[in-house]
Amino acid sequence: MKTFPETCILWLSGILLFSGNSIINAFAYDYTATTECLGEPQRAQYGGGIIVNPDFNHSLEAGWSTAIGRGNIEERILEAGNRFIVVHNRTNQLDSLFQKVQLEEGNLYSFSDFSSLKFEIFSAWVQLSEGRETVAVFFKITDGDLVRGGSVIADHGCWSLLKGGIVANFSSPVEILFRCENTKVDIWVDSVSLQQFTKTQWRSHQDNTIDKIRKSKVRFQVTDANNTAMRGAIVSIKQEQSDFPFGCGMNHYILTSTDYQNWFASRFKVTTFTNEMKWYSTEKRQGHENYTVSDAMVKFAKRNGISIRGHNIFWDDPKYQPEWVNSISPEDLRKAAQKRLKSVVSRYRGQLIAWDVVNENLHFSFFEDKLGDQNASAEYFSEAYQLDPTPIMFMNEYNTIEYCRDEKSSVANYLKKLQEILQYPGNEGISAGIGLQGRFGSGQPNLAYMRSSLDILGSTGLPIWLTEVDVGKDPDQAQHLEEILREGYSHPAVQGIVMFAGPELAGFKNMPLADINFNNTPAGDVVDKLLGEWESEILEIKADDRGFVDALLSHGDYSVTVQHPEANSSTTLSFRMTKDIPQTTIDVQIHA
């Protein structure tokens, strides 16, 4: 039996088109997606890619085969003339139409052969004859192994876009088929597509997108008092603060180590305390609250201009409750939880930029089960927001971007839970956020699945943060980390990234960024490289014959000094570059 590690879905609504390794038509990548269904299916993406007869405009014998099992397929035509396929008389979940395609191997683990990884991108429009069910796409390998490629919640009466794909580290014929667990419903299918992209093309798109969404153009026009162009003037540009929060977890060791303090404050302007604000840290004994450590860490952060994400008010995992919580009655738990919420949120009111309100409430349901209240998460969001409406209130979950096989935290389930919370009476106005932990295991991270999740979650318009980025131990750990961080930074819906990493001295053993002597590890080198890349370097540019200086700058706050070799004075100014200003011109006058 072959194994296909991290073979997952990819949800895309636009892509760069390539011929070999050359771009032949660069459409602006559209990250937006929709969870709405449409009255008519759209045409197949990429013209169907390698799919034969993608829109069913030819005989079914052109590319498609009859259903598995006892199901039957037939061609139908919509009123507008569009042809589609119906799978009916289904007795097996996998009764479906299918098409066989040839996938070519890409070396999933080789970083020396950067272009070898292949992303097979799939899309199709689906509908059901009745009701509302999940429809999934599967890739059947020649040895019979079934690889889940993606899913969508489909409805009767409208068409839903199922997006997915497979990362190929093998060469094999593959059958593409659909599954619906409810065999009583017919599956309608139209506009099927499968298209391949290489890792080199993927990285090229990342870089182009970063330039587009994280940077803006600025032109300085340098003149003298007579408005004459100052040819040869030197414009020195220095970024004082980046607009993109890229930070690191922090723990209590920072209170006793000057080296840790200097290491952290010289790099990061946003943090999350790894444990010190959690309930089991602040109330180890019932009724005896102790915020000494977290208070001191807040004081350090504020003194150094470091913003804080609150982590967390509650954790739904039964293993991570204060020990005494497990021995009290449901009614006493309700009272204790109310006291906890009011205590921690009120204590740090106005001092935090975010709260992880209920941690990991897709994988676990401690409070819901103990209290017999399936609205517990929604109620905690409401109460926290009423106590302090300033921070963004996050759901925080793992495996939504890391691992496609974990259905508990799939994109669909994340959105379903978030919708339940936001639709709870009184929660309509909450400033909500999407927290994605980003705790990747060892081995090649599947950037396809990561982007898929970000695309769909980004369609909500809510801010997305990668909240606990970590990568498993691996000889290529640093390279994996760089790929993950670049993928997050290049997505327009991502508004911040926090790693759960740090110096080895502070106990960060899995992915230390600095050794015991605060020398960089390979992962630390990656972080420093990206900090330098994403925070514009100091630039010194000479004005052209017309007194113009052009630059592409990362968003943030800048200071500028302008001087001319023949002038006895210089001019300084400050300005701010934001995503809302794609380009601007700044007039600068030098008095000789």
CATH code of the domain covering residue 222: 2.60.40.10
CA dihedral 560, 565, 566, 571 (to 10 degrees): 10
> In terms of domains, do 543 and 454 share one?
no
Structural domain for 583, as ranges: 210-239+536-589
Among residues 189, 207, 225, which one ends one of the domains?
207
* Domain assignment of residue 251, yes or no: no
Q: Which CATH number is 116's domain given?
A: 2.60.120.260
> In terms of domains, do 219 and 273 share one?
no
| Tokens linked to 19 | 């011929």
Backbone angles phi, psi at 476, to 5 degrees: -105, 30
For the chain, how many structural domains are there in total? Answer: 3
> In terms of domains, do 338 and 189 share one?
no
> In terms of domains, do 380 and 304 share one?
yes
Query: By mean pLDDT, which of 16-30, 301-315, 481-495, 577-591 is the weakest?
Result: 16-30
* Domain assignment of residue 512, yes or no: no
Residues making up the chain, counted from first to last: 592
The active-site residue out of 283, 360, 379, 483 is 360
Q: How many Å apart are CA 78 and CA 52, to the nearest integer?
A: 21
Res 17 pLDDT > 50: no
- Higher-confidence position of 467 and 154: 467
Radius of gyration of the chain (CA): 27
> In terms of domains, do 216 and 202 share one?
no
Binned at pLDDT 50, 70 and 90, residue 116 comes out as very low
Is 482 an active-site residue? no
Three-class HEC string of 269-309: CEEEECCCCCHHHHCCECCECCCHHHHHHHHHHHHCCCEEE
Res 475 pLDDT > 80: yes
Span 240-279, pLDDT tens digits = 999 999 999 999 999 999 999 999 999 999 999 999 999 9
Instruction: Name the nearest CA neighbour of 33 among 126, 192, 152.
Output: 152
The active-site residue out of 468, 482, 483, 487 is 468
The answer to whether the beta carbons of residues 33 and 458 sit under 8 Å apart is yes
Span 438-455, pLDDT tens digits = 999 998 887 877 887 888
> In terms of domains, do 372 and 410 share one?
yes
* Domain assignment of residue 524, yes or no: no
> In terms of domains, do 231 and 193 share one?
no
> In terms of domains, do 168 and 231 share one?
no
A 10 A CB-CB count for 384 gives 23
pLDDT at 119: 60
pLDDT at 118: 57
* Domain assignment of residue 474, yes or no: yes
> In terms of domains, do 65 and 109 share one?
yes
Among residues 500, 522, 557, which one ends one of the domains?
500
> In terms of domains, do 550 and 468 share one?
no
* Domain assignment of residue 135, yes or no: yes
* Domain assignment of residue 48, yes or no: yes
Binned at pLDDT 50, 70 and 90, residue 59 comes out as confident
Instruction: Name the nearest CA neighbour of 441 among 401, 468, 471, 478.
Output: 471
> In terms of domains, do 52 and 187 share one?
yes
> In terms of domains, do 187 and 291 share one?
no
Backbone angles phi, psi at 221, to 5 degrees: -115, 110
* Domain assignment of residue 11, yes or no: no
pLDDT at 15: 29
Among residues 207, 223, 250, which one ends one of the domains?
207
Res 173 pLDDT > 80: yes
pTM, entire model: 0.86
Is 483 an active-site residue? no
Span 136-156, pLDDT tens digits = 888 888 777 887 777 778 899
The answer to whether the beta carbons of residues 54 and 46 sit under 8 Å apart is no
* Domain assignment of residue 5, yes or no: no
Return the sign of the alpha-carbon dihedral for residues 259, 262, 268, 269. Answer: positive
